[in-house]
Amino acid sequence: MRPRFSLSSRHSMLYMLITLVLITAPDIHAMNPLTPEEEYVIVHKGTERPFSGKYNRHFEKGVYHCRRCSAPLFNSSSKFEAGCGWPSFDEALPGAVQWIPDADGRRTEILCARCGAHLGHVFQGEGFTPKNTRHCVNSVSLDFQKIPATSQEHRAVFAGGCFWGVEYYFQSAEGVLSTRVGYTGGHTEFPDYEQVCRGTTGHVEAIEILYDPARTDFEKLARLFFEIHDPTQTNGQGPDQGEQYRSVIFYQNEEQRTIAEKLIAHLRAKGFAVATALEPASAFWPAEDYHQRYYERRRGTPYCHIRTPRFE
């Protein structure tokens, strides 16, 4: 388990140096390799020729990911034909995209919130869709993952202590299409790990899951969630203490909330003093790249999360 970061600790600077040298550096090499054209757009903020991109008139069902770091960015349901020559989306996945003023002083640039890859620009007030927003994206900044025609993707967000161990169990669960870890539930926009560990943002370490409802459902995922962490602990898991490690289900709709309440009632009837909170889903801010699929990249297994059957 990770020690909680504290700026008042005499070892905080050493912790930061170790994190940068031993953790961040290897993940730089874990980024997907880029072609010269992709590097021109993604790194050097270039623009591909209009109507030349492979995703300009592409409308399969699925999820568009960042070409450089594979973070999920846009759902196909938000894509529309704007006639501008580039893929257009009226909404990004929560917390997936960052808006910043463009260097030209007129436009707003959009970046991958995880790795900072240049995606394109965002425009508002054009009236193309009811959301009145157009994310104009270069095809070379994207990768597409198709969802089978018989299915669609649903979303679930859980927090149960250190997100490394939580993701370890969910990324291989039946029916899970993709996972990413990040921060949610708080009030600070674009938080980073250091800020969350201070305990002043209100955010918790969490995991966002996209899953295929034809192969699994929210109840199965929630049951797994309650078995891979201790839902009776308050404000922490094991030695990882602090509000950022608390147990929370961020429900997407009333159906998810009802299912979660049913499972909590079941566990309490069995004698478990469940402390898991239920909160409505809010913006999800992806964590730094070195946190993503942590144990998979290091070919390790978690020691802070052990699956314990609780529903037998």
Please give the positions annotated as active site: 136, 162
CA–CA gap between residue 72 and residue 119 (Å, rounded): 13
How far is CA 235 from each of CA 7, 10, 109, 224, 226, rounded to the nearest angstrom? 19, 24, 38, 20, 16
Between strands 108-112 and 97-101, the pairing is antiparallel
**Any bridge partners for residue 201, and if so which?**
none
CA torsion angle for 120, 122, 126, 131 (degrees, to 10)?
Answer: 120
Question: At 226, which helix (H) or strand (E)?
Answer: helix 218-227
Closest CA to 90 of 81, 99, 98: 81
What does the alpha-carbon distance between residue 260 and residue 219 come to, in Å, rounded to a whole number?
A: 8
Sign of the CA dihedral with 253 first, then 89, 221, and 204 last? negative
Q: How far is CA 68 from the centre of its chain?
A: 15
* Whole-number Å distance between alpha carbons of 36 and 221: 41
Which of 225, 222, 224, 220 lies closest to 160 in space, CA to CA? 225
Question: What residues contact residue 217 under an 8 Å CB cut-off, 6+ apart?
Answer: 175
